[in-house]
Structures are given as structure tokens and as C-alpha cells.
Amino acid sequence: MIKDEVKISFDWNKNISILMVVLFITGVFVAEIYFGLNWWEKQEIVRAQTLEDDILKVNRDITKIKGTADAALNYKDKSVELSRLLNEHIYWSNFFNWLEKNTLSTVKFDSFGGDANGKYSLNAKAISYAEVSWQVKAFLNDPLVKKVEVTSVNSSAGKDKGKTADSGVNFSLSFELDPAIFKK
């Protein structure tokens, strides 16, 4: 043997208690890690479930809002279309009120032709040629009238001498009127 060499031997009986304490501490540490991770997993599952519930609630709210938004957008589109229709609506009653206001009491209209562009033709009957002239002047005095023209004039007095009710002057008018009358 070598000088000062000591024979090393491990005494199990003496060191078993230290080994047991170390194994116990290691076991407690591993168990603590295991139970800690298990508890953390359960907490994460609960948190994930809560998050999933929140996401489902938000998705339901989004679907509900989309339905409301679609209805609101449809309503908005309809209201825009209605506004456009009302802005472009033609009020023929305005024209006929204007015609009544600007027609002499001695003039009677037989027929009417025209459109919303402002060009019209009227066949009428008056008592005299002077009444025809005054009717044209009455139309020209209105600022909405652009042009008035008498296209034909003939006397109906000579047709039947026995009837005075049919006597008078038949005439045709052609005139242009500002189309804005329909929008007022």
C-alpha cells in the first residue's frame, strides 16, 4: 500500500439518514413542482374558458350589431332614395294653380299638352281678339314665363248664326315656362 493511503469505505448505516433527508427534500421539491404545475394548469384552463366565454359573448354582440347595422344601413339607403325622389318629384298641381291664377276669367281652355321640361300648348276660347291679346300679356307678366306665342286664331262667330253661345275666338297658345315651378 501507499503510504498514508487510507482505505475509503462508505458507511451506509451512518449516511443513510442524510441520503433519506436529501431524497425526502428532493421528493418534496418534485412534488411541489408537480402540484404547482397542476394548479397552474387548472388556473390556465379556467382563464382560457373565461376568455373563450368572453369571445363568444363578443361574437354574439357583433352578430347582433351587424343585424342592427344592416337594418340601419337599409333604412339610410331608403331615406336617401326617398329624399332623392322627393327632391325630383314633379308637382303638376303647382302648374295648374299657376295656370288658374294667370288665366283671364273670359278665357276657357279646351285642351292641354306639355311635359315637365317647360314647353306647353293650350287650345282655348275667348270672347274677342282683345281677350286673346290680354291673355298673352297676362302670361308674359309672370316672371316664370320665358316665351308665349299664339300659334293660331280663328273666329267661331260665323259658323252658326243662330247660336250666340258658340260665338267668340278660338286660339292656340304655345309657351315656355320655367320648370322650377314643379319643384316649388
Cα–Cα distances (Å) from 9 to 14, 32, 93, 109, 138, in that order, read 11, 35, 125, 141, 140
Please tell me which residue, 182 or 144, carries the higher pLDDT value: 144
Task: Report pLDDT digits (tens) over 118-131.
Answer: 899 999 999 999 99
- The CA R_g of the chain, rounded to the nearest whole Å, is 52
Residues of the domain holding 111: 92-182
User: End of a domain among 89, 112, 133?
Assistant: 89
Which among 89, 106, 129 is the end of a domain? Answer: 89
Place of cell 294653380: 97
Q: Please check whether residue 148 is in contact with residue 136, taking contact to mean a CB–CB distance below 8 angstroms.
A: yes
Q: In terms of domains, do 17 and 73 share one?
A: yes
What's the grid cell of residue 95?
302648374
Residues 149 and 138 in one domain: yes
pLDDT (tens digit per residue) in 61-71 = 999 999 899 88
Are residues 15 and 30 both part of a single domain? yes
- Tens-place pLDDT, residues 78-92: 998 888 887 777 777
Is 153 found in the same domain as 136?
A: yes
pLDDT, greater one: 183 or 81: 81
Cell of 140: 308674359
- Position 141 scores a pLDDT of 92
Q: Is residue 35 part of a domain?
A: yes
Q: For residue 143, give the C-alpha cell.
A: 316672371
Q: Are residues 96 and 178 in the same domain?
A: yes
pTM of the model: 0.51
Q: Which percentage of the chain shows pLDDT scores above 70?
A: 89
DSSP string for residues in the chain: --TT-------HHHHHHHHHHHHHHHHHHHHHHHHHHHHHHHHHHHHHHHHHHHHHHHHHHHHHHHHHHHHHHHHHHHHHHHHHHHHH---HHHHHHHHHHTS-TT-EEEEEEE-TTSEEEEEEEESSHHHHHHHHHHHHTSTTEEEEEEEEEEE-TTT-TT-STT-SEEEEEEEEE-GGGGT-
Residue 138, judged by CB atoms within 10 A of its CB (0-12, 13-18, 19+), counts as middle
Q: Give me the sheet containing 145-155, strands edge to edge.
A: 108-114, 119-126, 169-177, 145-155
Q: Are 123 and 144 in contact (CB under 8 A)?
A: no
